[in-house]
A = this chain, B = another copy of it.
Amino acid sequence: MKLQLQITMNEALFLRNPESSELGKNILKHSVQLIYKTGFEAFTFKKLAEDIGTTEAGIYRYFENKHKLLVYLTAWYWGWLEFQISYHTNNINDPTIKLKRVIKLLATAVQDDEQTSHINEKLLHQIIIAEGSKAYLTKQVGADNKQHFFKPYKDLCAVIGAIVSECSPKYKYPKSLASTIIEMAHFQNFFMNHLPSLTDFGNTKEETEIIAFLNDLVFTSLEKS
């Protein structure tokens, strides 16, 4: 049996649903590869079209511009990650163990998930680390937010914040701690690999060290309160 995981996306993110056709799926697949390879700044619809073997106009029928495509990919990732979290923390009662799993999932390089054939989660994870915050660090953040483009990110943050509160009902900053965990899981990874002197993991470059740091940071805060 092979289950197909479908993540429901905000329809305002695309002009035509990329999951609904071969070309659309190719756009998702190749955009992940190309953004990973060139970085978001150098990424253009023209290069993407050449990569796929279609034309620029073909891409524009699916996405208005590359910013919307990036927001789509990040939203997809957060949706996917929330599912991963719900799957891997299912049936666990101890919120401390749950939160540890969450931290591990956030900070660990992902395996390419067979369930979603056209998107390479491992590459997408790297894209989120290096480009993810560009999805909201824009002048349009307010307008995009009104259209609920960041709902998957907020939902994930709310889920993690709820686990934090389960661990420690009196802790005063569950949501800020949740967004800190998410962002730092990624930033410390980027720093470790590119600006190692900003971290304490420059020698080993091991993800496990980031996990240990975040666990230490989070659980001393929660134990105290």
Residues of A within 8 A of B (CB): 38-39, 41-42, 130-131, 133-134, 136-139, 141-142, 145, 150, 153-154, 157-158, 172-180, 183-184, 187-188, 190-191, 194-195, 197-201, 213, 216-217, 220-221, 223-225
Stoichiometry (number of copies): 2
**Is the pair B220, A199 in contact by a Cβ cutoff of 8 Å?**
no
**Is the pair A154, B197 in contact by a Cβ cutoff of 8 Å?**
yes
The listed residue (B157, B158, B194, B199) touching A145 by CB distance below 8 A is: B194
What's the Cα separation between A213 and B142 when bound, in Å?
24
- Which residues of the other chain, B, contact A187 by a CB distance below 8 angstroms? 179-180, 183
**Is the pair A176, B194 in contact by a Cβ cutoff of 8 Å?**
no
Q: How far is the CB of A81 from chain B (nearest CB, A)?
A: 15
Nearest B residue to A199, CB-CB: B176
**Is the pair A138, B39 in contact by a Cβ cutoff of 8 Å?**
yes
- Which residues of the other chain, B, contact A225 by a CB distance below 8 angstroms? 220
Nearest B residue to A131, CB-CB: B137
Nearest B residue to A194, CB-CB: B141
Q: A139-B41, A220-B224, A224-B224 are in contact. Are A176 and B188 (CB under 8 A)?
A: yes
